[in-house]
Amino acid sequence: MRKIFLLVFVCVITAVVMTACGEKSQEEVVQDLDKKLQDMDGYKGEATMTLETGEEPRTYDVDIWHMQNEKNKYYKVHLKNDNEEQNQMIIRNDDGVFVLTPALNKSFRFQSDWPNNNSQVYLYESLISDILMDAERTFAIHEGTYVFETKTNYQNKNLHHQEIVLDSKSLEPKTVKIYDADYKLLVSVEFTEFDENASFDDNDFDTDKNMTAAAMEEDVPVSTEDDENNEEENAAQENFEAVYPSYQPQGSTLNDKEETMTENGPKVVLSYSGDQSFTIVQQVETAEEAAASVNVGNGQPVDLGFTVAAQAENSLTWHYNGVEYFIASHDLSQDEMTAIARSMNETSENIK
C-alpha cells in the first residue's frame, strides 16, 4: 500500500513539474514556427552534411547565407568537400539563380524559382515549411529539443521522409535526417552554427565577386599554360574512363559508343535508342582562363547528391571528378534524366 502511495505521489509531482516548466503543445510550437517564418529576414548558418547513398559516406561542409527584403530573397550556399576538387556554390540574387564551380571558372545561370520549388535540407525556412505543410507530421519533446517527422518534397523521390530537430528555446535547427521508405538513412545534416541576427553587405550575393573570392581560395590557375595545371589535365586525360548508367528507362538500349580525341582530351558519346532515346556525352573538363557563364534560361539547379547539376528543358549538365557530363533527350522527363545521372555515381561497375 505504501509503495502504491509513493508511486502515485511521484506521478503527481512529475505532472506538476512538467506543468510548471511550461512545455508547449505541438499546436503552440507550430504557431511559433509560422510566426518565425513570417518575420524572418535572414540568417547565416554552418552545417555538416553527410550522404549515405554511395559505397562510402561522403561529407560536405555547407555555409548558408540568406537575406530577404521587400525586393527579393537572396541566397548563397557554399558546398565544400576536402576530397573533392570542385566545390560548388549556389547563389540567388536580382540577376537570377547561379551554380558556380570556381575551380573551373564556370557558372550556370537560370531564371528559376529555386529554392521554392522543392524541399532543401540545409535551408531553415524550407524545413519550417515542410513542418507547416504536413498535417500528418509527428511531434515529440526530447532533451531540450522539439522533434518533428514529416513528409518531404525533394527532387530525389527516394528521400521519403525526414526527422527535423529544433532547439526548444530558440527554434533554431539542430539536425535533419532523411530516410527512404524503408527507414534507411540517406542524408544527415548537423547545424554547427546558426545566427539569425547576421548582417550582410551589397557584395555578399554578387556572383562575380563570389566567383573571384572562391577561385582565389581554391588557387585556380590564372593561365591554362601553367605547368601545374597542365600536369593535372594530363593526369585527368590518362585516367579518363567512360562511365555507364546503372539505371536506364525500360526499353532503352545502348546502340552506339563513339570515342574521339579533342584538343582538350578524350570524349565519349553514348547513344541509347528505344522509346525513350537519349545521348550521354563525357569529356575531360578544363578550367577557363576567364570566368565563363552559361545561360540555361528556364532551368534549375538539381541536387544529384554528389554534385549540383544544371537542368535545362531537354538536357542535364554536371561536373564530377575532372569530367564534364551531359545528357540530352527529347523523350525523357526531367526526373528520368536526373535518375540516370544519379546512377552514374554508384560503384566501379559503372566504369567500362
Q: pLDDT tens, 308-340?
A: 999 998 999 999 888 999 999 999 999 999 999
pLDDT at 14 over 90: no
The pLDDT of residue 83 = 61
CATH 2.50.20.10 positions along the chain are 26-195
CA distance 313 to 297: 9
pLDDT at 54 over 80: no
- Where does the chain have alpha helices with state H? 2-21, 26-39, 124-133, 207-217, 227-238, 334-342
- Amino acid 267 reads K
The pLDDT of residue 225 = 47
Q: Read off the pLDDT of each residue in 40-59 and give the average, rounded to a whole number.
A: 90
The pLDDT of residue 5 = 40
CA distance 259 to 268: 5
The pLDDT of residue 191 = 98
Concatenate the DSSP letters of all residues of 5-39 into one string: HHHHHHHHHHHHHHHHHTPPPHHHHHHHHHHHHHH
Q: Read off the pLDDT of each residue in 230-236 and give the average, rounded to a whole number.
A: 55
The pLDDT of residue 238 = 67
The pLDDT of residue 348 = 39
Domain 26-195: assigned CATH number: 2.50.20.10
For residue 283, what are the CA distances in angstroms to 229, 233, 273?
17, 12, 21
The pLDDT of residue 228 = 52
CA distance 162 to 188: 9
CATH 3.30.200.100 positions along the chain are 234-286+313-350
119: nearest Cα among 88, 97, 150? 150
Give the best-scoring range by mean pLDDT among 20-34, 155-169, 282-296: 155-169
Which of 46-50, 156-160, 217-221, 266-270 is the least confident region? Answer: 217-221
The pLDDT of residue 232 = 53
> Percent of the chain having pLDDT more than 70?
84
CA distance 327 to 278: 7
Q: What angle do CA 208, 67, 97 make, to 5 degrees?
A: 45
Kindly report the pTM of this predicted structure: 0.82
308: nearest Cα among 114, 113, 83? 114
Choose the CATH number for 234-286+313-350 among 3.40.640.10, 1.10.3300.10, 3.30.200.100, 3.40.50.261: 3.30.200.100
